[in-house]
Amino acid sequence: MNKPNVKAQRLAAAFLLGCLVFNYPFMALFNHSDLVFGVPVLYVYVFAVWSLLIALLAVVIERK
């Protein structure tokens, strides 16, 4: 298997992971009225997962 194909597969997997974690069942788990440092849990979840996905994509793209 050549390298561009592996990178494309990893990017597709990261996309599917993003679709999964930003879909209804996972978002509903964090949709309650608790606060983390004064911020609703859902907002913390969204921004934490979003930043982790960006970091994952950076690792996949920059990896040789």
Q: If we measure between CA atoms, which residue out of 47, 53, 9 comes closest to residue 30?
A: 47
> What pLDDT sits at residue 11?
95
pLDDT of residue 3: 64
Question: Which position has the token pair 């859902």?
Answer: 42
pLDDT score at 26: 92
- Structure confidence by residue, pLDDT tens digits, 7-62: 999 999 999 999 999 999 999 999 999 999 999 999 999 999 999 999 999 999 99
Q: What is the pLDDT of residue 4?
A: 67
Q: How far, in Å, CA of 59 to CA of 64, rounded?
A: 10
Q: Residue 38: what pLDDT? A: 96
**Rounded CA separation 24/19 (Å):** 10
Total residue count of the chain as it appears in this document:
64
pLDDT at residue 64, rounded to an integer: 76
Of 15, 2, 3, the C-alpha closest to 64 is 3
